[in-house]
Amino acid sequence: MRKYKIAALVGIIVMGTGSFMACLCTAKAPVMIGNVLLIISLFIMTYAFSSWQP
């Protein structure tokens, strides 16, 4: 159960970073990286929360 909790926490942190980059950056490359981080965080959190349900 511990690895799923850690994966959920990592997914939340990655989502926060990605949303910060996607919303506040003005250059095109950081915005695209933020969007990619958001998509990656969705996969991480889907994996974590499908096995561990708080």
The pLDDT score that the predictor gives to residue 3 is: 86
Task: Determine the 3-state secondary structure of 33 from DSSP.
Answer: helix
Please write the tens of the pLDDT for every residue from 3-49. 889 999 999 999 999 999 999 999 999 999 999 999 999 999 999 98
**Cα–Cα distance, 19 to 8 (Å, whole number):** 16
Q: What is the pTM of this model?
A: 0.85
Confidence of residue 2 (pLDDT cuts 50, 70, 90): confident
